[in-house]
């Protein structure tokens, strides 16, 4: 077992623009990062203090095995950042049950599975921090992105419930809701699929989300739990 003298942070969904930025930012703060995703090739590059793990969060047994492997290797998991998603857009009447299942299974249940696999260890440690990446659609649902919006709203509620239940063990749980962020996904969103504008006049950058995540995980946010922090540049008129 390797026992790093740095906080151990597990980032799921680390293949996308947000996940990669979060991993790189947290690594830069001195954390030991474990970046997981479905394909190793799209995860951040391996370096000292950043490891990669192939994982499909829709597989409950794989998630539980991954949690055990990380705990066996490092002895603890200090924080989780759940950044999984399945972008799926369409008219409500055209979306099938299978479409809804795919989004909710990856984003909502994928986040839930990871939290459930690690919270027992955090209870034993008497501390930990969890951040669910939800989205602005959780409060302002775009009609053509309702599966993702419903998953986002559920993650916001899940964060509140877990924060209330496990705060007694020193575990903080928060959600973070990005708005339009400069990424490959924004081009799709800008085509009338979702509101891609902001009060500040343009999209944010993945690094803006990463910095906010680092704050929520830090000791500076030690008295913040159960919230949903918008990182969306404000809502345009």
Where do the structural domains in the chain lie, given as residue ranges?
8-231
For the chain, give the mean pLDDT: 93
Angle between helix 17-28 and 206-217 (nearest 10): 50
Question: Under a CB-based contact definition with an 8 Å cutoff, are residues 236 and 199 in contact?
Answer: yes
Instruction: Output the CA torsion 87→92→95→97 (10° steps).
Output: 100
pTM of this structure: 0.93
Mean pLDDT across the stretch 176-183? 89
Residue 159 dihedral angles phi and psi, to the nearest 5°: -60, -45
**Does the pLDDT of residue 161 top 80, yes or no?**
yes
Mean pLDDT across the stretch 32-44? 95
Mean pLDDT across the stretch 55-60? 97
pLDDT at residue 2, as a whole number: 60
The H or E element spanning position 129 is strand 128-133
With bands split at pLDDT 50, 70 and 90, how would you rate the model's confidence at 148? very high
The fold of the 8-231 domain, in CATH, is: Rossmann fold (3.40.50)
**pLDDT tens per residue, range 4-30:** 789 999 999 999 999 999 999 999 999
SS3 33: strand
Per-residue burial over 74-88, b = 16 or more CB atoms within 10 Å of its CB, e = otherwise: bebbbbbbbbbbbbb
The first and second tokens of residue 63, run together, are 């998630």
The first and second tokens of residue 33, run together, are 């990062």
pLDDT at residue 192, as a whole number: 46
Residue recorded with tokens 């903080």: 172
SS3 232: coil
With bands split at pLDDT 50, 70 and 90, how would you rate the model's confidence at 187? low
Question: Under a CB-based contact definition with an 8 Å cutoff, are residues 81 and 213 in contact?
Answer: yes
CB-based contacts of 127, cutoff 8 Å, min separation 6: 78, 169, 170, 171
The most distant pair of C-alpha atoms in the chain lies apart, rounded to whole Å, by: 54
């Amino acid at each position: 077992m390797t026992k790093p003298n740095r906080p151990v942070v597990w980032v799921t969904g680390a293949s996308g623009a947000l996940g990669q930025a979060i991993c790189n930012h947290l690594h830069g703060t001195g954390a030991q990062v474990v970046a997981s995703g479905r394909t190793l090739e799209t995860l951040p590059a391996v370096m000292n203090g950043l490891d990669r793990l192939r994982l499909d969060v829709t597989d409950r047994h794989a998630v539980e095995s991954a949690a055990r492997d990380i705990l066996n290797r490092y002895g603890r998991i200090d924080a989780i950042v759940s950044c999984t998603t399945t972008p799926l857009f369409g008219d409500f009447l055209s979306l099938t049950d299978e479409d809804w299942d795919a989004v909710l299974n990856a984003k909502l249940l994928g986040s839930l599975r990871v939290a459930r696999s690690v919270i027992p260890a955090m209870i034993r440690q008497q501390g930990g921090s969890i951040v669910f990446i939800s989205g602005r659609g959780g409060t302002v649902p775009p009609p053509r992105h309702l599966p993702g919006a419903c998953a986002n709203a559920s993650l916001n509620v899940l964060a509140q419930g877990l924060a209330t239940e496990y705060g007694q063990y020193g575990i903080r749980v928060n959600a973070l809701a990005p708005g339009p962020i400069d990424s490959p996904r924004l081009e799709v969103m800008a085509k009338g699929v979702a509101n891609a504008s902001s009060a500040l006049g343009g999209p944010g950058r993945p690094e803006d989300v990463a910095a906010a995540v680092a704050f929520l995980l830090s000791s500076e946010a030690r008295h913040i739990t159960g919230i949903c922090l918008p990182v969306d540049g404000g809502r345009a008129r």
